Structure 1
Amino acid sequence: MKTDVEELSPTRVKLTVEVPFEELKPNLDKAYKEISKQVRIKGFRPGKAPAPLIDRYIGRGAVLQEAVNDALPELYGRAVEASEIFVLGQPEVEITKLDDGKEMTFTAEVDVRPKFQVPDYDNLEVTVDEAKVTDEEVEETLGNLRERFASLTTVERAAETGDFVTIDLSAQVDGEAVEDAAATGYSYEVGSNSSVEGLDEALTGMSAGESKTFTSKLVGGERAGQEAEITVTVQSVKVKKLPEADDEFAQLASEFDTIEELRTDLRTRLGRTKRMQQLSQARDRALEALMEQIDIPLPEKVVQAEIERRNEQLEQQLKWSGLSKEAYLKQQGKTAEEFDAEIAEAARRAVKGGFVLDQLALDEELGVENEELSEYVVSQAMQMGVQPQQLADHLTQSGQLPALVSEVLRNKALNLLVEHVKITDEAGNAVDIEALRRELSGEAAQPEAEAAEESAGKAEETKAEAKDEEAKNEAEDKSES
């Protein structure tokens, strides 16, 4: 088999593959067997008709077509491997010559990863946020915890911003009731702007037992986006009362006895969260810094596929939340054009970042071990709330294992990159990423725990020795007396 490669652009090639006819013989034999099982020829059982009769009754052309279709995937794969190119997506294949008994020629146009060099990254510098926890942040977190234990008390007055009201909602479009827009006994915070536009304005100043009708667009259900007459009736108005930040609250909301112990724990948790954010920022910004030094063309089809994937993911999330895209854009304060531009830019950077990490993994000769693959599947399964074996079976059956291997490989390349980059926080302090990883994974605490255990053991030995010595002295005193 002979393969020629023509570069149509930096991101697209055309393979011309010449295949000697004898290489198609196994596929021809298979084609004859398959066709003979499907046809009825007098005097022969299914699957037993000889090739000459199949050529006579069915036609040699049909057999050749079956054989070629069967052979193409393997032939294309061999051509790609021989050409040492990294293909992206599905090829556009055309049979250009089929000379029965002599040879077959086909072409395949396909997008490829562009060729480029990864520059030296030892001198890259990035800055991440400080991991310092302020008193204000601790109090804010404590306040959020108190919010979870807040109680609601009914008041006999008109609703104000921040109050919680129990309401009934109904909607009509062109005089017809919209069933999926109706709600009874719905608890709503006035001023939260978390429902249809105009609801907060309508509720402000309303008292229990009052009703009001206003016009707004529905944000969910079958009539999402349509103008509707919405009627709201207030059942009750309640104010939120937070528990005092004292020892009693600490015992109610945590395993601690005092409020200061709870504050200390919150500070520790906030610090861990900030250090995790540092690690995430370091990875993102290290890759961004490296990408800024590289200018490579991107295959538009690959970029478009990434744009479509992101849009589909957003549509699924909006569907689950019952929010229309129009309402979502309004919440984000963006026009459709601005949103599309952001999605396109994010898609281009994601594709470019993938190419850079792929090339880095290739340059550094990184590979993926079975243990690493298993660890990744287990971690993903935990995040998804499914059994690891269930996820592994799904990935295998759906043909997603190659993509999974690529993801693990890119992650290893990114870890390698971060290890070589100089990282400081905004205060100018050096950030040791490897030490940070060990700390967050619990490895750093292990030696301390072992030391504490050893210290405790020595203390017990000392106590035992002291008791032995004391007993010895008592015995000597008695003997002397």
Structure 2
Amino acid sequence: MKSTVEQLSPTRVKLNVEVPFEELSGDFDRAYKALAQQVRIPGFRPGKAPAKLIEARVGRDSILAQVVNDALPGKYSQAVAETETKAIGQPEIDLEELKYGESISFTAEVDVRPELELPDYSTLSVEVDPIADDEDAVDEQIEGLRARFGTLTGVDRGAQDGDMVSIDLAASIDGEPVEEASTEGLSHEVGAGDLIDGLDEALVGLKAGESKVFTTTLVAGEHADEEADVTVTVNSVKERELPELDDEFAQMASEFDTVDELRESLAERVAQSKKMEQANKVRDAVLDELLAKVEVPLPENVVQAEVDNSLEQVLHSIGHDEAIFAQLLEAQGTTREAFEADARETAEKSVRQQLLLDAIAEQQDTEVSQDELTQQILFSAQRYGMAPQEFIQQLTQANQVGAVYADVRRNKALLGIVGEVTVTDTDGNAVDTTEFFGTADEDDADADATAEDKGADDKSSDA
């Protein structure tokens, strides 16, 4: 088989493929065997009819068309491999006229990863916000602990912010009850703001047995975005009594003996969390700087596929009802054209990032271990609230395991070069990134160790 590549653009090529007719002999054998089981010829048992009789019955051209149709995907993949084409997306294949006994010729246009000119990472510099001491966060965590170990006590007074109340809600529109917006015995913390607009304001000052009517806009259900009159009735009011912040509380709520030790531990936890937040900002800043420095041509078909996928996800969630989609867009004050424009902007950024990180991963020879892939799958399963085995099964059925592998590889490639970039905070202080990203020397040492381990395994296998 002969294959040549014609570069159409930085992101698209045309493969010209010629397959000698004799290379299809095995494909013809398989086709004849399959047809022999299907075609009934008098005097021959199923599967035993000679190829010549099958050919006479079905037609040589029909058999040739079937053979080529079955063989084409494999021949395309072979051409991609032989020419080392970095294909992405689906090819557009154009098959020339078929003639029995002559070579099969076809062309395949396909998007490819562009060749990118990557910078010297040591010349890059990014800036992030400094890590500030956050005593408020420590206090917030302590108050959260006190609330967790607090007790609720009924009170004979009007409800205040922070009280826990048991309430009934009854909603109506133009005097007609709205059942889906009504409930009884609902527990709610006054001031939490996590139910409906206007509820907390209506509750303040109400005692057990008292009611109040307020107007609000419903946010879900059949009457979403409509104004309704809601009657809230208070069944009980309880205030939260917090334990004293002393050493006894520290021993009850933690493994520490004193409040000072508890506070010190929480401060360390908050500081570590702040460091991780800063590390994430460093990573994002490095990626943004790379995108600003590196020109990444975009393959149009790949971008359009992402735009189409975004639209399909929304339509699928509403049963592909275009009328509902139009109503949703109108409620959000936008149009389909604006939605698709936003989807295209998001898709272009996503594809640009993927292509850039793929190029870095290739340059750095980034590899992903089975353990790293497994950890990412387990993390994703937990995030979606699914059992790991069920999540893996869905990934496999959707043929998305490769996509997860690619994402892990891209992220690992980015983290691997952050240590080479100069990072400072907005106060002008150098930011030490080694805790989360390591150093270039460490990465080289890890790569050497991996190579040595692989060499040892190869020798062991040879033995």
TM superposition score category, shorter chain reference: 0.7 to 0.9
SS of the residue 2:280 aligns to:
helix
Q: Which moved more, 1:353-362 or 1:51-60?
A: 51-60
Question: Cα offset for 1:352?
Answer: 1.2
Q: Which residue of 2 aligns with 1:373?
A: 370
Q: Which residue of 1 aligns with 2:285?
A: 285
Q: Which residue of 1 aligns with 2:414?
A: 414
Q: Which residue of 2 aligns with 1:20?
A: 20
Q: Which residue of 2 aligns with 1:190?
A: 190
Question: Cα offset for 1:25?
Answer: 2.0
Task: Indicate if the aligned counterparts of 1:89 and 1:302 stay in contact, CA closer than 8 A.
Answer: yes
Q: Which residue of 1 aligns with 2:37?
A: 37
Q: Which amino acid aligns with 2:135?
A: D
In structure 2, the CA distance between the partners of 1:30 and 1:133, relative to structure 1 (3 Å rule), is same
Q: Which amino acid aligns with 2:406?
A: S
Question: Cα offset for 1:409?
Answer: 2.8
Task: Indicate if the aligned counterparts of 1:307 and 1:343 stay in contact, CA closer than 8 A.
Answer: yes
What pairs up with 1:283-322 in 2 under 5 angstroms? 283-307=283-307
Q: Deviations over 1:246-271 (max 9, x none)?
A: 22321222111211111011011112
Task: Indicate if the aligned counterparts of 1:216 and 1:227 stay in contact, CA closer than 8 A.
Answer: yes
What pairs up with 1:148-159 in 2 under 5 angstroms? 148-159=148-159
Q: Which amino acid aligns with 1:267?
A: A
Question: Cα offset for 1:67?
Answer: 1.4
Q: Which amino acid aligns with 1:87?
A: A
Question: Cα offset for 1:387?
Answer: 7.8
Q: Which residue of 2 aligns with 1:453?
A: none
Question: Cα offset for 1:314?
Answer: 8.8
SS of the residue 1:92 aligns to:
strand
Distance in 1 (alpha carbons) for counterparts of 2:94 and 2:411: 37
Q: Which residue of 2 aligns with 1:432?
A: 432
Q: Which moved more, 1:170-179 or 1:275-284?
A: 170-179
Q: Which residue of 2 aligns with 1:423?
A: 423
Distance in 2 (alpha carbons) for counterparts of 1:88 and 1:363: 18
SS of the residue 1:297 aligns to:
coil
SS of the residue 1:244 aligns to:
coil
Distance in 1 (alpha carbons) for counterparts of 2:175 and 2:25: 72
Q: Which residue of 2 aligns with 1:115?
A: 115
SS of the residue 2:40 aligns to:
coil
In structure 2, the CA distance between the partners of 1:154 and 1:341, relative to structure 1 (3 Å rule), is farther
What pairs up with 1:382-401 in 2 under 5 angstroms? 382=379, 384-385=381-382, 398-401=398-401
Q: Which residue of 1 aligns with 2:84?
A: 84
Distance in 1 (alpha carbons) for counterparts of 2:205 and 2:37: 80
Question: Cα offset for 1:132?
Answer: 4.6
Distance in 2 (alpha carbons) for counterparts of 1:53 and 1:216: 80
How many pairs align?
429
Distance in 1 (alpha carbons) for counterparts of 2:175 and 2:21: 73
- Is 1:267 aligned to 2:295, yes or no? no
Distance in 2 (alpha carbons) for counterparts of 1:210 and 1:252: 38
Distance in 1 (alpha carbons) for counterparts of 2:43 and 2:180: 67
Q: Which amino acid aligns with 1:380?
A: I
Q: Which residue of 2 aligns with 1:74?
A: 74
What pairs up with 1:128-277 in 2 under 5 angstroms? 128-171=128-171, 180-212=180-212, 216-221=216-221, 224=224, 230-277=230-277
Distance in 2 (alpha carbons) for counterparts of 1:63 and 1:400: 35
In structure 2, the CA distance between the partners of 1:217 and 1:33, relative to structure 1 (3 Å rule), is farther
Q: Which residue of 1 aligns with 2:450?
A: none
Distance in 2 (alpha carbons) for counterparts of 1:415 and 1:217: 46
Question: Cα offset for 1:76?
Answer: 1.0
Distance in 2 (alpha carbons) for counterparts of 1:316 and 1:249: 52
- Is 1:106 aligned to 2:106, yes or no? yes
Task: Indicate if the aligned counterparts of 2:170 and 2:232 stay in contact, CA closer than 8 A.
Answer: yes
Task: Indicate if the aligned counterparts of 1:3 and 1:79 stay in contact, CA closer than 8 A.
Answer: yes
Question: Cα offset for 1:44?
Answer: 2.5
In structure 2, the CA distance between the partners of 1:357 and 1:234, relative to structure 1 (3 Å rule), is same
Question: Cα offset for 1:64?
Answer: 2.4
Distance in 2 (alpha carbons) for counterparts of 1:81 and 1:158: 76
In structure 2, the CA distance between the partners of 1:57 and 1:317, relative to structure 1 (3 Å rule), is closer
Distance in 2 (alpha carbons) for counterparts of 1:94 and 1:382: 43
What pairs up with 1:328-347 in 2 under 5 angstroms? 336=334, 344-347=344-347
Distance in 2 (alpha carbons) for counterparts of 1:310 and 1:244: 52
Question: Cα offset for 1:172?
Answer: 5.7
Q: Deviations over 1:17-41 (max 9, x none)?
A: 2222222222222122222223333
| Bigger-Rg structure (1/2) | 1
Segments of 5+ residues of structure 1 without an aligned counterpart are: 319-323, 439-481
Question: Cα offset for 1:51?
Answer: 2.0
In structure 2, the CA distance between the partners of 1:54 and 1:223, relative to structure 1 (3 Å rule), is farther
Taking structure 1 as the reference length, what is the TM-score of the superposition? 0.75
In structure 2, the CA distance between the partners of 1:8 and 1:182, relative to structure 1 (3 Å rule), is farther
Q: Which amino acid aligns with 1:54?
A: I
In structure 2, the CA distance between the partners of 1:296 and 1:383, relative to structure 1 (3 Å rule), is closer
Distance in 2 (alpha carbons) for counterparts of 1:159 and 1:80: 71
Identity of aligned residues (%): 47
Distance in 2 (alpha carbons) for counterparts of 1:68 and 1:153: 80
Taking structure 2 as the reference length, what is the TM-score of the superposition? 0.78
Q: Deviations over 1:215-240 (max 9, x none)?
A: 65543456655666644332223333
Q: Deviations over 1:303-338 (max 9, x none)?
A: 3444566678899999xxxxx999x99xxxx86578
Q: Which amino acid aligns with 1:48?
A: K
Distance in 1 (alpha carbons) for counterparts of 2:56 and 2:174: 69
Q: Deviations over 1:374-402 (max 9, x none)?
A: 23313532563478777667655654443
In structure 2, the CA distance between the partners of 1:435 and 1:244, relative to structure 1 (3 Å rule), is same
Distance in 2 (alpha carbons) for counterparts of 1:20 and 1:189: 77
In structure 2, the CA distance between the partners of 1:94 and 1:431, relative to structure 1 (3 Å rule), is same
Superposition RMSD in Å = 3.9
Q: Which moved more, 1:148-157 or 1:383-392?
A: 383-392
